[in-house]
Amino acid sequence: MAVTVFKPEEQNASQAPTLGMGSGTFGANAQQRKNIAQGGSGRFTNLQQYVQANEANNPNAQLLQREATARQGELGTRQQEFTRQAEPIKSGFQAIRSGQQFVQSALENPTQIVQTPSNIQRFAGYRTQGIGDIETPFNQLQTARATLGTQQEQLASGLETIQRDPNALQNYLQSQRANPSLATRGENVLDRFLTQSTESGQRAIAGLGTTAGAIRSSQAPSIIGDIETLRTQAQGKPLSSADVGNLLTRKITPEEEFVRSINPEYVSQRLGLSESQPDNPRFTKLEAAKARRDTVNRFNQRIAETDNAITNITNQINSSNQKINELENIDFNNFEGEERRNKELETSREIDRENEKIRKLQPQLNNISFDNNSLKQGLSRIDLSLQPKLEEYERGLALNKQQLLQQYDPTRLSRIQALQQLAGTNQFNSLLSGGIQ
């Protein structure tokens, strides 16, 4: 409470008689006063009797106690009003923290967030409009806090002024009269004198200082700490639309670089073909698989060649055997004399020629059959375990990047597509639809 101090000597003496001039009220026990002579200075000579007469019923002490209580109550009212004004600021800060946590969660797990359309809309709002401003409302809070501190100090210093300054005490007591302007100077001085001189009054005056100290040391409303904590938590985290955009870019850029980097090596790695061949670390499994396939192809080609040669020679032998069989079954009874002998001789020579053919072809057939068997045995010993992977690898080379991610890393593809949704763009479409060769 602000207190204006009026000095008695500045009052009009004709309107406010001094203490002892015979006017004023001394309390309910005023009838107990004795006829006390005045000194030449105008002051009572045994004021102690007046003090004793008013000690038992001194309402001024109660006034001071009520004033202290009222100032404490006013502080509580001011703090409640401050808290009421700060509640929207706190709610705003809580909304900002919620938004920041949502953005962070969305960027950490975009795939889950985009499952709900309202989440996409919410993120779009933060991306285009920002999450919120913490400095402007915090400065408003600081201004209100400073005002509350000033009010708190005024309440405390007001009580201390009444406690320390007799003129302030006298003015306060006068202000509490039903008609302050009608009080004489003597009455006002006597009120102050009795308050200062009685034990109850002295306790009440001392209580003003105690209450002032309590008011001054009163803790600020806890909502201030709540808001400061929320502000600290919000600082350094996304607030503006640019902040949200930068965080989104940090998530998207490495994914773009990853999609661009998808190449045949990516497919090889996913199939485990990029690893070194255990029995020959100089070569990868992919290289080994290709080399073995080339070897298999060469074996198959040689086997096919020997198969054809075997078939050809076998056909020749079978043809000769068939011809011999036909020659051996000729009926010479149809011929007579010299003709028969000539026919028999010619047939015999023909059979010998066919047998000679067979005799020459058989070693060739044996050699080629041996080679054929050796080739087939060699083919059976080739490790073909990597061939399915090699075939899958080559099929993968024909796919686009989206198809490859769908096959080998669907989780990452979903994240990429979710980030694109959060960004509100189609920047990945052309990258994903491209091939790798």
Amino acid at the residue 435: G
d(CA 160, CA 169) in angstroms, rounded, equals 10
Identify the helix (H) or strand (E) that includes residue 340: helix 337-381
Which of these ranges, 30-44, 330-344, 396-410, has the smallest mean pLDDT?
A: 30-44
Residue 56 banded pLDDT, cuts 50, 70, 90:
low
Q: CB count, 10 Å around CB of 413? A: 22
| Residue among 110, 106, 104 nearest 238 (CA) | 104
Which of these ranges, 130-139, 150-159, 186-195, 251-260, has the smallest mean pLDDT?
A: 186-195
d(CA 192, CA 173) in angstroms, rounded, equals 7
Tokens encoding 126: 């933060």
Residue 287 banded pLDDT, cuts 50, 70, 90:
very high
Residue 34 banded pLDDT, cuts 50, 70, 90:
very low
d(CA 303, CA 310) in angstroms, rounded, equals 10
Output 224-230 pairs: Cβ under 8 A, ≥24 positions apart.
224/86, 224/141, 224/145, 226/90, 227/86, 227/89, 227/90, 227/93, 227/138, 227/141, 230/90, 230/93, 230/94, 230/96, 230/97
| Residue among 220, 217, 207 nearest 78 (CA) | 220
Which tens digit of pLDDT belongs to each residue from 141-171?
999 999 999 999 999 999 999 999 999 999 9
| CA 302 centroid distance within chain | 65
The three-point CA angle 317-321-323 to 5° equals 115
Sequential DSSP letters for 164-199: H-HHHHHHHHHHTSSSGGG--HHHHHHHHHHHHHSH
Q: Give the pLDDT confidence score for residue 37 in this predicted structure.
A: 32
Q: Give the pLDDT confidence score for residue 49 in this predicted structure.
A: 66
> Using H for helix, E for strand and C for coil, what is the string for 227-238?
HHHHHHHHCCCC
| Residue among 62, 386, 76 nearest 200 (CA) | 62
Identify the helix (H) or strand (E) that includes residue 284: strand 280-284
Is the model's pLDDT at 30 over the cut of 70? no
Which tens digit of pLDDT belongs to each residue from 190-202?
888 888 888 888 9
Q: Give the pLDDT confidence score for residue 70 in this predicted structure.
A: 95
